[in-house]
Amino acid sequence: MAHAYKKLAMLAGTTLALWCTTLPVAQAQAQAQSATLDKIKAAGKVVLGVREASPPMAYALGANEKYVGYHVELCERVLKEIAPAARLEYLAITAQSTIPLVSNGTVDIGCGPTTNNLARQQQVAFAVTTYVSEVRMAVRKDSELKSISQLGGRTVAASTGTTAVQLLRKQERVVGSPIKTVLGKDHHESFMLLESGRADAFVLDDNLLAGLIANSKDPGAYRIVGEPLGAEPIALLFRKDDPGFKAAVDGVLTRLMQSGEVEKTYTKWFMSPIPPKNVSLNLPLGNTLRTLFDHPNDKPLESYQQ
């Protein structure tokens, strides 16, 4: 009997050892089959698509064009592990140019705040969700606007290529009155429309609105108000036809989420003073995102609307 138990223990130990080596082997095989990683290796560099004016997710600091932010840092952490020898090259992109530049291979990984939805999944692939935003509106402090239902007949700023544009069109049908939507080429230009009085409100993800307000000339002059137009899963993105690259990126992100490292990164960018003005956004980690950190997934926007 003792001999039998010893044999079982040896078998269990062998099985466990084989299981422990299976994951890294599988990841190595996935990376070996990645066209994107082959491209990065051949070029000796990886191209990160970043935003110039989307704090705290991705933005430029000063004239030296150093890019920082929550998603930029996550991108850098991932690439340090899956392509450690590659030089990081940063390419400024907009909400409108993100999908084309990722899908045609100009950008290897998109690090800006891009919503994962079914339409975009036809052109690109998304990593596991690393942020869930609520689309709300920023108004000037003296504005009487408090609800999305009051936007009928108003002039509202939105950024070209964002899902806020479609959400405003849907809202027109709800309120039964036209909403004059004026488009900025990026979030900075859209905020200037609000700042200058050319728009009554600016509709965008709450985290981005908070970042723009915190870095404005007068942060106390604006408020984020109104009920959410919707919740949106935000994720890193890359070429659609490279499951090996997705497996490699998701593997690193999942480990960082479940170890608590992503939550630490979140705290750094959403709950602590951030450059350039060292102002905190004070946006605590929500229950939806905390659950995602525990159980990572790449579900699209449409699953949040059910």
**210 and 139 housed in the same domain:** yes
**243 and 95 housed in the same domain:** yes
Q: State residue 65's pLDDT score.
A: 76
Examine residue 19 and state whether it is found in any structural domain, yes or no.
no
- Per the CB < 8 A criterion, the answer to whether 57 and 113 are in contact is yes
**165 and 106 housed in the same domain:** no
Give me the mean pLDDT over the 20-39 stretch: 62
The CA distance from 224 to 133, in Å, is 13
- Range of 247's domain? 24-132+233-304
Give me the mean pLDDT over the 213-237 stretch: 92
Domain CATH code at residue 269: 3.40.190.10
**127 and 30 housed in the same domain:** yes
**187 and 285 housed in the same domain:** no
The CA distance from 156 to 40, in Å, is 42
Given a cut of 60, whether residue 103 has pLDDT beyond it is yes
**119 and 180 housed in the same domain:** no
**38 and 97 housed in the same domain:** yes
**110 and 146 housed in the same domain:** no
The CA distance from 121 to 107, in Å, is 16
**120 and 172 housed in the same domain:** no
Examine residue 140 and state whether it is found in any structural domain, yes or no.
yes
Examine residue 18 and state whether it is found in any structural domain, yes or no.
no
Contacts of 279 (CB under 8 A, 6+ apart): 214, 215, 219, 273
**113 and 156 housed in the same domain:** no
The CA distance from 111 to 165, in Å, is 21
**203 and 142 housed in the same domain:** yes
Q: Which 3 state secondary structure label does DSSP give 303?
A: helix
- Per the CB < 8 A criterion, the answer to whether 34 and 108 are in contact is no
Given a cut of 80, whether residue 185 has pLDDT beyond it is yes
Phi-psi region of 150 (alpha: psi -120 to 50; beta: other; left: phi over 0): alpha
DSSP symbols for 1-25: -HHHHHHHHHHHHHHHHHHHHHHHH
Domain-ending residue, one of 231, 259, 288: 231
**190 and 118 housed in the same domain:** no
Examine residue 73 and state whether it is found in any structural domain, yes or no.
yes
pLDDT exceeding 90 applies to what percent of the chain?
Answer: 77
Counting the structural domains of the chain, the total is 2
pLDDT class for 32, splitting at 50, 70, 90?
A: low
Give me the mean pLDDT over the 161-176 stretch: 90
Examine residue 12 and state whether it is found in any structural domain, yes or no.
no
